[in-house]
Amino acid sequence: MTDLGSSRSTQGGQSSTQPPLSQSPSFQIPESQSSAPAAPRVHVLTVDELLLQEGRALLTQLHPHLQDGGTWFGISDNGITKCILRMLHSLLKHPHPKYSTMSADDQEMWFRTFAQEYNWDPVYTGLVRTCFHQTAARSFTSNMNEWKTKWKKGSKTTPKGLNAFVWQEMPKHWLLPATEDDSLTHSQNRKSTRDGLGMSVHNGGAISTMTRQLRMTKEADGVCPDYLTLVEATHTNKQNGEIQDSAIRNLVGNVKKRKEDLLTQMTEGDMMTGEDINGIYLSEAPLKKGCYLGLGNLGKKVHVTSSVFPTNRNVEIEQLQETLKEKDTQIKVLEQANVHTQEILKEKDTQIKGLEQANVQTQVTLQDLVGFMKEKFGAEFPVGRSPPTPPET
């Protein structure tokens, strides 16, 4: 075994031991390194603390109902996707196969970074955190699949901005049998004929369904399109005017038929509202993994609705649930602080009792001393004598 603290040399069959380098006269530790105080730890602001900083009104605002010009997750061209992509390039230091395999601390660091570019009312923090992690996970998987495809085609160039170590180590995960099985399963799902309906056909373009809904609302002077109108506009081929996806085409046909049947049953003067049409659509559309067919990312926010329960009620419920969780956490922190305070008060009570006992002992000692002095000096010892009255002037 090599000893870095000392070295041995052999001459003429005899060995000599040299002192460690640190004891050698020629070895000197610079004073700036040996005596310099440790650098103070930098306080990292939490997300809650970041939201209280001044000047945040200048950042892009988030609001689940898009109030006051705010934007939200799932809307195109608001920079959220690019923001997460920059994190993927600059903050990913280890070859994690999925976003979910990152540590909670790393995920929270990503969220803190996001909070430096976007602002929101603190009451929505729980909801924003949930939506951010969901969006980050999808973006993570999407980019990893893209990089994997390039690597399989023989590309050896590290993607722009990506950590070189991550690019070097990720193929070890991609070559695992379990990873290959997952890829094969996803590929088969994408190419599925869906029980004879054929492969899924995408005609929506690069914008999200939610973005298309907002644009159509703006074009209609603020009137939000019903789901039937939205789905037809999204999935109709612009060149031939047909819905090429068989599943969507059948769904639209069924919704239209039920709409016509309902119109024939209405009395004169009755009107079918957008919410009525939405209710018909949602009752006909198959639900898979929390999404309704044809509604894309918008379908993840939708539950069965009526004129009494608006479509954003689900968001409000999620928001309240997250707020309750945060309040429960705050209550637990306060309870722990209260327990700590009670322990401190108990210690103080013990100290006070000790001082009281010491005071009693001191009084006893003083009484004994007074008794001793009276016995020894008698009248000469002025115990309890009042001070002399000063002469009148």
pLDDT tens for 225-251 read 999 999 999 999 888 888 888 889 999
User: What confidence tier does 392 reach under pLDDT thresholds 50, 70, 90?
Assistant: low
In a domain, 385, yes or no: no
**Same domain assignment for residues 60 and 163:** yes
Q: Last residue of some domain: 191, 216, 245?
A: 191
Q: Are residues 142 and 226 in the same domain?
A: no
321 and 363 part of one domain: yes
Task: Between 252 and 36, name the one with better pLDDT.
Answer: 252
% of the chain residues with pLDDT over 70: 77
Domain total of the chain: 3
In this structure, are 70 and 169 located in the same domain?
Answer: yes
Q: How confident is the model at residue 328 (pLDDT cuts 50, 70, 90)?
A: confident
- Which residue among 256, 278, 311 closes a domain? 311
Give residue 18's pLDDT: 44
Q: 324 and 352: one domain?
A: yes
Distances (CA, A) of 132 to 107, 118, 126: 10, 11, 10
In a domain, 21, yes or no: no
Q: Does 25 reside within a domain?
A: no
pLDDT at position 128 = 96
Q: Which of 185-189, 298-302, 338-342 has the lowest mean pLDDT?
A: 298-302
- 118 and 142 share a domain? yes
Nearest Cα residue to 312 out of 206, 207, 210, 208: 210
Residue 90, in any domain of the structure: yes
- Please give the single-letter amino acid code of residue 176: L
Question: Is residue 388 in some structural domain?
Answer: no
User: Residue range 170-199: average pLDDT?
Assistant: 76
Q: Which residue has the higher pLDDT, 375 or 299?
A: 375
- Based on the domain organization, do 268 and 285 belong to the same domain? yes
Q: What percent of the chain has pLDDT over 90?
A: 35
Position 208 confidence tier, pLDDT thresholds 50, 70, 90: confident
Give pLDDT, residue 5: 41
- Whether 223 and 294 map to the same domain: the answer is yes
Q: What is the CA radius of gyration of the chain?
A: 38
- Kindly report the pTM of this predicted structure: 0.60
Given a cut of 90, whether residue 59 has pLDDT beyond it is: yes
Q: Is residue 233 part of a domain?
A: yes
- Looking at residue 20, its pLDDT comes to 43
30-42 mean pLDDT? 56
pLDDT bin (cut points 50, 70, 90) of residue 105 is: very high
- Pure H helices in the chain: 31-34, 47-50, 80-90, 104-115, 125-152, 164-174, 177-190, 209-219, 227-235, 246-265, 274-284, 313-377
Q: How confident is residue 80, by pLDDT bands cut at 50, 70 and 90?
A: very high
pLDDT of 160 = 82
Please state, as a whole number, how many other Cβ atoms lie within 10 Å of the Cβ of residue 174: 17
Report the pLDDT value the prediction gives residue 376, as an integer from 0 to 100. 76
| Residue 335 falls inside a structural domain | yes
- Please tell me whether residues 183 and 279 are part of one structural domain: no
- Is there a domain that residue 77 lies in? yes
Min mean pLDDT across 18-27, 55-64, 251-260 is at 18-27
Q: At what angle do helices 164-174 and 177-190 cross, to 10 degrees?
A: 80
pLDDT at 196: 64
Residue 194 has pLDDT above 90, yes or no: no
pLDDT at residue 298 is higher than 90:
no
What domain range is 351 assigned to? Answer: 313-374
Same domain? 210 vs 165: no
124 and 53 housed in the same domain: yes
pLDDT classification of 26: cutoffs 50, 70, 90? very low
Q: Does residue 9 register a pLDDT over 70?
A: no
Q: Which of 277, 295, 311 is the last residue of a domain?
A: 311
DSSP 27-77: ----HHHHSPPPPPPPPPPPHHHHTTSTTGGGSEEB-TT-GGG-B-TT-TT
Question: 145 and 252 in one domain?
Answer: no
Query: How confident is the prediction for the chain on average, in pLDDT?
Result: 80
